[in-house]
Structure 1
Amino acid sequence: MWYNNILETIGNTPLVKLNNITKDIPAIVLAKIETTNPGNSIKDRMAVKMIEDAERSGKLKPGGTIIEGTSGNTGMGLAMAAIIKGYKCIFTTTDKQSKEKVDALRAFGAEVIVCPTNVEPEDPRSYYSVSSRLEREVPNSWKPNQYDNLSNSQAHYEQTGPEIWEQTEGKITHLVVGVGTGGTISGTGKYLKEKNPDIKVWGIDTYGSVFKKYKETGILDKNEIYPYITEGIGEDFLPKNVDFDIIDLFEKVTDKDAALMTRDIARKEGIFVGNSAGSAIAGLLQLKDKLKPEDVVVVIFHDHGSRYMGKMYNEDWLRERGFLKDEKLTARSILQKKENTEIITIDCEKTIIEAINNMNTLNISQIPVTQKGMVVGKLAEGDILKALLENPSLKSAPVEQIMTAGFPFVDMNTSIDRISSLINKENSAVLVEDEEGKIEIITQYDIINAISG
């Protein structure tokens, strides 16, 4: 048997029992692994459904351009379908989305416009507003608007819900989903509740989003809104696809807990998934006291971990945000083990002969070069030798004439692995700026001393 095109492989994703990260939960927990879709996310389902419904209604015409605001996964599904069906794609996204997501969209031939995250949806710079403006300006274009397009929810009512019901043989008692556009939880939840009204539908929200408070009070509180790191869930407005009558409760999860749990899923279950899966499991653990041993919980694992390599799966990124405990040596711990010595620099206007004398006196081979107190370059013995062999009269010339690019700068939380990778033939050290603005230097000797100490 073969498929006529890649779109026919969407759906029928596996349901896998979790065994380790859920050991404290008194219930069977099953993960719906949506990464096996061809675009590696659950969004393939609704992307194709939105396109097919638009074709039937005449909103999307042959040779047209699909324009959408997307965090990446919907864009991937739309771009894949557009290739098969002969459409062009322009996507707007936010600068908080991972580089991998943007690169993936461009790999499918889509044009991607990156917009600022920290603006109101109504702001003309927001990715919502920019996509709406482009729809008005680009001839023969169509904007799916995944947030308010009810084909989104319908796709999950027709596909995801029935799959889960059949795979659990109707035994499911709880559905747990990270909520962004609301299509997955509302469509899947609606189908399952029609089969069994006792099934509980739990939405996972993030701090900085409006869903939880709106569900509990009916108030859209703008004071709840602030920038957050977690991708794929939470909103600063109410999409039409979020059916609050279907969702029994919302649970908020911090950026830190979501990020660390994302890594734990890979490390403890061998399942490589994205940020919203981490949020969903972290939220489920927070709600574990509401579960009984006979319960069967299904958690949606939305997308693939490869889209987060520069973020949740990058230890330096986690350390910079204070998410990771200081298990490995960092710039801070290396400096704490180092003798408190004053960093030696030379002003760029000093002469080369003065630099030679300073380096000989201090028995050092490289020295940072400053201009008005700011590090602007470095001077090495090799640079001096090369310059003087070519032109001995340069002795009296200013240092800035022969200095090279400065030492790399790192922050206090940078790991020893990253620091070591920056120290090479060109750079014998890295510079660190502490919280008070003081510049420190770390050499290869300091790293060896810290490890052996």
Structure 2
Amino acid sequence: MTPDKKVYDNILQTIGNTPLIKLNKVAADLPCPVYAKVEFFNPGNSIKDRMALKMLEVAEKEGKIKPGGTIIEGTSGNTGMGLALAAIQKGYRCIFTTTDKQSKEKADILKALGAEVIICPTNVEPEDPKSYYSVSKRLATEVPNSWYVNQYDNLANRLAHYEQTGPEIWEQTEGKVTHLVVATGTGGTITGTGKYLKEKNPDIQVWAIDSYGSLLTKWFNTGELDMKEVHPYITEGIGEDFLPENYDRDCIDYFEKVTDKDGAVMARRIAKEEGIFVGYSAGSALSGLKQLKSKLKKDDLVVVIFHDHGSRYVGKVYNDEWMLDRGFLDVHTVQDLIGGLGRRRLVTIESNETVAKAMELMQKYDIEQIPVMKGGEMTGAVSQHGLFKKLMQDINVKEQTIESVIEASIPMVEMNTPIERLTSYLSKENNAVLAKDDSGDYHILTQYDVLNALSKG
């Protein structure tokens, strides 16, 4: 241990003082320097550690929770993580409600920290008894010695950022920051940080990044809470279908909406091009900033909040199949499509096997065509359509070898073949194509794979 290495008494003392890191590649097209406030350096891997601890400390001071009590909250995951860490150190129990929109990893992490997690449906009104807001409120009335956190209306949320995040950014930029960009949900980060920075310099611009499906942008622009704006969206941790009390319009200058796809694609770019493994909302924040490029000047200095870590989203944003299924990956060639689908077992059959064996494989794997192999080479194929016609003529065909009923091979295509070209290979009799990669492995693409990719292109 070096002499200047600080020793901490517990994990909570490591919250805050996160680094400011320049974005050198993904923001290279912007006219001014852009720095990311990388909040996954907090022990719970998100900015929510700051406000979670602050809210709990204020509740303790005000006597809202007693020793051995239960913390109850509705959370998208990160606030629950911060509360769980604090609860471990302070001896509290945790019950969290969350939505089925959130990644499984988030719920698993909360459980690993000893919390009880209740999954509630996403597509219900906030006032619905089944919503994660309503369930958490109800539990707070039923569980003895419990405290309902209510991060949305708990003003200690924004106080944490007024006391910590704002001063850190001001000090790290030596007062040169001109723009703060935040993908915003509860309103605590943008309001608290923005309030502090504007007190230091009223000219600082505070930009909120919102999601399509959220009502916050229209509220900011008109003062109206329009439920017609609300519809399901995929991005996690940003946007709202109601107005949390933590918002203060005087602390915000502009709202910009970002699509689910743009946020997800940008998160992957940040990870790949900057080596900063960020969560979904970081992608939304940077994507929103780039949409506002024309509002920036060369002498500006932008700070964008990167809220949490990419490990929360390995089953979603960082999963090619998940991205492909939602049309978030741009698929142009066979290689793109195979990459998005991931490695799938290619079912083959030897030419000396029986027709009955082929039928068994088709049923087991729910496939319509099987390539036929002989001596390690592909010599043809058998199909449900072809076998059915032969079986209708002679049921005893089942006992014959594949070699006696073999059909033409499934068409082979190059890995760089455009997806649109594949439709010319597909027909009622042939519903798949094969491709061979540089390693010599075969891949099969079905008619469904191709049509699904084309429909989302």
TM-score by structure 1 length? 0.77
Say which of 143, 146, 150 aligns to 2:148.
Answer: 143
| Partner Cα distance (1:28, 1:22) in 2 | 8
Alignment correspondent of 1:132: 137
Are positions 1:14 and 2:8 aligned together? no
Aligned to 2:276, the other structure's residue is in SS state coil
1:232 aligns with 2:237: yes
Residue 70 (structure 1) aligns with: 75
3-state SS of paired residue (2:56): helix
- Identity across matched positions, percent: 66
The 8 Å contact of residues 435 and 444 in structure 2, kept in 1 or not, is answered as no
What letter is aligned with 2:195?
K
Q: Distance in 1 between matches of 2:442 and 2:30?
A: 44
User: What is the CA–CA distance in structure 1 between the aligned matches of 2:34 and 2:434, rounded to whole Å?
Assistant: 49
Counterpart AA for 1:198 = D
Q: For 2:195 and 2:177, how far apart are their aligned partners in 1?
A: 14
Q: Map of 1:278-297 to 2, 5 A cutoff?
A: 278-297=283-302
Verify: 1:223 aligned to 2:228, yes or no: yes
Q: Which moved more, 1:217-226 or 1:284-293?
A: 217-226
The 3 A distance-change label for structure 1 pair 438 and 127 is: farther
Distance 1:197 1:227 in 2: 36
Match of 1:93 in 2: 98
**How many pairs were matched up?**
373
- Residue 321 of structure 2 is aligned to residue 316 of structure 1: yes
1:205 aligns with 2:210: yes
Aligned residue type for 1:368:
M
Matched residues in 2 for 1:299 and 1:64: separation?
A: 37
Report the secondary structure of 1:307's partner residue. Answer: helix
Paired AA for residue 80 in structure 2: G
Q: How does 1:429-444 map to 2 (within 5 A)?
A: none
Match of 2:251, SS? coil
Partner of 1:61: 66
Shift in Å at residue 364 of structure 1?
Answer: 3.7
- Structure 1 residue 444: Cα displacement: 9.8
* Change in CA separation of 1:259 and 1:362 when aligned onto 2, cut-off 3 Å: same
Please give the per-residue CA displacement for 1:264-299, whole angstroms capped at 9, x wherever unaligned. 000111101101100000000000100000000000
**2:207·2:253 contact (CA, 8 Å) conserved in 1?**
yes
Distance 2:429 2:126 in 1: 40
Say if 2:127 is the partner of 1:122. yes
DSSP 3-state at the match of 1:139? coil
Query: 2-side partners of 1:332 and 1:100: how far apart?
Result: 26
| Secondary structure of the corresponding residue to residue 62 of structure 1 | coil
User: How has the CA–CA distance of structure 1 residues 211 and 7 changed in structure 2, closer, same or farther, with 3 Å as cutoff?
Assistant: same
Q: How far apart, CA to CA, are the structure 2 residues paired with 1:2 and 1:165?
A: 26
The Cα shift of 1:243 comes to: 1.2
Name the counterpart of 2:107: 102
- Taking a change above 3 Å as real, the CA distance of residues 443 and 289 of structure 1, as seen in their structure-2 partners, is closer
Q: Distance in 2 between matches of 1:141 and 1:439?
A: 63
The question of whether the paired residues in 1 share the 8 Å contact of 2:338 and 2:443 is answered with: no
- Give the unaligned 5+ runs of structure 1: 335-358, 378-395, 400-415, 417-436
Q: How far has the Cα of 1:369 moved from its partner?
A: 3.8
Write out per-residue CA displacement over residues 15-34 of structure 1, whole angstroms, 9 at most, x where no aligned residue.
11111010111111010011
1:329–1:34 CA distance, 2 compared to 1 (3 A): same
Partner of 1:342: none
Secondary structure, counterpart of 2:271 in structure 1: helix
In structure 2, what is the Cα distance between the partners aligned to 1:240 and 1:297?
27
Q: Measured at CA, do residues 212 and 161 of structure 1 come closer, stay the same or move farther in structure 2, by a change above 3 Å?
A: same
Q: Counterparts of 2:159 and 2:104 in 1: how far apart (Å)?
A: 30
Q: 2:192 matched to 1:187?
A: yes
Does residue 368 (structure 1) correspond to residue 362 (structure 2)? The answer is: yes
8 A contact 2:432–2:444 mirrored in 1: no
Matched residue of 2:250: which SS? coil
Question: d(CA) in 1 for partners of 2:83 and 2:430?
Answer: 48
Structure 1 residues 123 and 138: CA distance shift in structure 2, 3 A: same
Backbone CA RMSD of aligned residues: 3.2
1:168 aligns with 2:173: yes
Structure 2 equivalent of residue 2 of structure 1:
7
Q: Distance in 2 between matches of 1:320 and 1:190?
A: 41
2-side partners of 1:295 and 1:196: how far apart? 14
For 2:69 and 2:204, locate their aligned partners in 1 and report how far apart those are by CA, in whole Å: 42
Alpha-carbon offset, residue 219 of structure 1? 1.3
Residue 21 to residue 133, structure 1, CA distance change in 2 (3 Å):
same
TM-aligned CA distance change 1:442 to 1:105, over 3 Å: farther
Residue 368 (structure 1) shift: 3.0
> Within 2, Cα distance between the matches of 1:104 and 1:265?
24
Q: Secondary structure at the match of 1:159?
A: helix
> 3-state DSSP class of the match of 1:245?
helix
Shift, 1:250, TM fit: 0.3
The Cα shift of 1:441 comes to 6.9
1:142 positional shift: 0.3
CA distance, structure 1, for counterparts of residue 357 and residue 164 of structure 2: 72
Deviations 1:100-155 (A, max 9, x none): 11111001000000100010000000000000010010000001100000000000
- Deviation of 1:366 (Å): 3.9
| Partner Cα distance (2:283, 2:44) in 1 | 19
Residue aligning to 1:337:
none
Match status 1:30 vs 2:64: no
